[in-house]
A and B are shown apart, each in its own frame.
Chain A
């Protein structure tokens, strides 16, 4: 039931771009993206609802293709502060309130 994230880990140099993918075997109502820094709690980045929308947050944006049951997170011109583990969370069914997360993608941005 957990969504599948890829890649498991990414290493970038400052200024490079990255894409993190999230897919589910079940139809999705919404996709959430969170970032967690070492030793801290996950922090919300954005939510995408079904309808194929894209959202942006500074230089971080995401897309949601409900037909393919996939979402992608785009990190542009990465900064050192982007380092952390990124999780996608999915809700199956409107109003289910059941939020299930993937295993995460560890992003390391080096100077």
Chain B
């Protein structure tokens, strides 16, 4: 019962470096999401994918790109990391047509 798996769990980057956060789900869900969580800001939607082959911007997409590689995997890429991107990133998935969202355990990213 893996559910939603995120890698890595922790990462420290230098300003300007790039990296990709990986997310995979084994529940055959159509919808997948990337959120960032900062103190006092709640969960803010970065990008989402309603189905394989489609992606849409959320509330805070600047500085990020995503790829829905297949139905299982949805990756988030930081091309040139900035200190403002220091955050905890959560990936989530849900079945289509209003299903409960299942969250991964999060990636704690620090950009120095």
Contacts and interface: CB of A to CB of B under 8 A. Distances in A.
B13 interface: no
B97 interface: yes
B59 A2 contact: yes
Interface in B81-97: 90, 92, 94, 96-97
A96 B58 CA distance: 12
B98 A41 contact: no
Given A87-B42, A98-B58, A99-B45, A41 B104 contact: yes
Contacts of A97: 30-31, 48, 50, 94, 96
Q: How many B residues touch the partner, as a band?
A: 20 to 34
Interface string A22-57: 000000011010100000111110010100000000
Among B42, B56, B90, B103, residue most surrounded by chain A Cβ atoms (within 10 Å): B42
